[in-house]
Structure 1
Amino acid sequence: MRTRWSPRGRGLGSASARLRSAVAGRGTVRAELGYGAFLSYSGERDRRWLPQLRHAIEKQSRPWYKPPHIRVFLDKTGVSIGPELWGKIEAGLARSDWLVVLASPEARSSVWVDREIAWWLEHKSVHTILLVVTAGQLVWDERRGDWDPERSTALPARLAGKFERQPVWKSVDPRPDGDAGFSPDDAGFSPDVDGVAFGVASVVRGLPEDELRSEGLRDTRRNLRTARIVAAALGCLLLVASTLSVVAVLSRAEATRQRDQAVVQQLITQSSLLAERDPFAARLKALAAWRIDPSPETRFAVLDAAVDPASGVLSHSVPVNSVAFSPDGRTVASGGSDGVVRIWRTGTQRTAGRPLIGHHQGITSIAFAPDGRTLASSGFDGTVRLWDLAGRKQIGAPFTAGAGSVRSVAFGRDGRTLVTVDEADSGTVRVWDVATHRQTGHLLDGPGPVLGTNADGSRVGSSTSQGGIRLWDTESGAPAGAALKGGDGVVTALSFSPDGKTFATADLAGNLRLWDIGARAPVGEPIASPSTSTGARSITFSPDGAMLAAAYEDGGVRLWDL
């Protein structure tokens, strides 16, 4: 070798370094298997590249299902730490066929290398010792029939006089990384590991190097053929599996279609049976059938269920100012001008339990908490009250917003905060802590008469003096775009859809209109007011956004399918 290395002594006095090398080993000596070669070396220079040499020898071409032709014993990877270090090295020597000595000046002066050679000469033959020169040189003196002791700087002294004639030995060919040549101090120099591996394997196996390389080509071609056959077989299996998967998907789709058809027929039958005694439930059944299968048959069932003009009406004796759906859509809460909050079952259109009584004046807004167990109501008396729906009881003292009434109320998404809007023309938006009933801040000042807020209070809608609608961003306090024309009449109510993409408005004439927030334009034609109803005071979306509830001044609450 002609590169700069950091030599490591391998003597009896360097036992700790020997133990560190053993700790770095990845496996233990396997007594049941032998080795083709035992690598004897010394010095940090050789220690760094010998694992690569070991790997290169053992990975030489072979059928994939067979073990390596040559297993190599290397104390860096083959010996584990223990009290009998030499005993394990001696066991490795005993199970090896060849002793490969990495000859170098460091090996020449190493007591460990000398000890390994001594054991080999005592128990095996000098003819199974292969010298591989990694540094220094070996010079054979023909006249003496032995090594030249002065010029052979890499020869371990114990091998002097042991060979009857010049043996076969190998030299490590340098492989520079660059084109500028190399020197002993060139850090870019590296040994030709593959060349050394073929040289060692040819001696150990007794085969010419050319034959070993040809064997590698043959094995490579054989492995490629095997790989092609395996790939073809896997391709066939994949094709079969894909076909079976498609058949299974089609079968599942057909089974799902037949199941849905059976459910649709059942819903249509139930809708027909409920038409007289429970018109609202009949309408819901027909709508459910249409959503599963929007066919002419289900469309006719929906139209048939909608014939009854009383379907979807919750009757009140006083004007209704606010209405809200519960999160599960099974309950509707309404608040009237008498200050009473009533709870209704959407399926039966009947009241559920006792009403909630506590406000001294009419209700202005109501909202369900996200968990559906708590309801908030605001009134013209300037208070906001929380209600436990299970016990029909008020929770704690009311929130007092100050002078004037509260126009709107909404829970935050986590249910821990409450957003209220003042009735005054300034329309201040306030934030309250549900647990302490204390105001924690305000989101917006002076947007004008606020008609409604979205689910988390991040956006509010207000009316303008020209009868239009303006949306506000509560975080920035700035308008969210230009004002929108609300319709022919004055806008009296506004509600945001659950997904926040749509909002609905109502006017004094009782007409309803849907708006696309992104497009800032109306969606379809307005929903005309029923002839028996007057102006709408409150509107709200169902939790799934499929229905709209509107509260009218005549005391009626109508449910509209969108």
Structure 2
Amino acid sequence: MPISRASLVRRIADFFFGFDFFLSYAHSDGNRYPRALAAALEKRGFKVFLDEREYPAGEDLRIGTRRMVGKSRYLVLVARDGLVTREERAETNWVRQEVEACLQARRTPVVIDVNGAFSRASPANRLRQLLPDRIFIPETADDADGAPSERVVQKLADGFRATRQDTIRFRWISVAAAALFALAAIAGWQAWLADQRRQEAERQRDEAFSRLLTIEGRRVARDEPDAALLLAAAAVRIRPSAAATDLLRTLLIAEPRHERFLQAGGSPWRLAAFSADGRAMVTVGEDGGIFRWRIGEDRIESQPLERADGTLTSVALSPDGARVAGGDRYRVLLWDARTGKLER
């Protein structure tokens, strides 16, 4: 079942801000002993859950109990006469639910056996059946609802201390790992942002260079048409733009010897792209005809490519001239330049 964002945040908070001890007891046996035990443990630096002060107002107690037990390291069951001899009481059933939640959450239950009440309980007692081989701390007291003995508090502290340092260390390691992950994510985002800025800078540089070549091509077009044609072709190859394409088209139209490019397939071209070495060119005619051109020293060879459905809005040659790419805003098509076949 998917974990909601709120549930995930709550689990993380419980992990780092949970309790060391959850005190479970029957209210009919009295509240003074659990209160005094909680105070003694907190005086030693432990975090203790005591139901009468920890449950948020309005929280479902069954759900709240499972959560509070799950976020506690140990469940301490204060076993006194009322708890083990009156199983029919609702509060006894409630304590049993706390113990079951502890076992389901794989937490450690510890039984404080006050005046042997738990030891004397019938083997059929459901709490005895749930906790057959658990940790027991005997407590002898004249008043079962008085203050806990120093020995009991010390045993709880000693038992916890063995695992407390590991728990603290693990939590700090987890915090450090989370911090490192956050730093790595920030570094990754900054690297991505830097790459985007680099690409944008390269795009602006290419646009500026293409614009400069186009301006220079226009300046020399009348006196040096061949030089202007090379400048226009370079401008289109570096960064295609409407101005560079229009100049290239105008120069090709102006020279009769370039008529083959313009009338390829019986239709004037509207798109053109050059290979990196300038010796290959691909054109797209107004009627959708696609031609690949090889420009030699003394001749120009043309090869028709398989037609594609729809209207292409861009065309390009691979650096090695082996593939032709074309497409529109919804698709990209590839041709094998040697066979003229549409691959996909």
Normalising by the smaller structure, the TM-score range is 0.3 to 0.5
Q: Which of 1 and 2 has greater Rg? A: 1
Q: TM-score, normalization: structure 2?
A: 0.37
TM-score for both structures, normalised by structure 1: 0.23
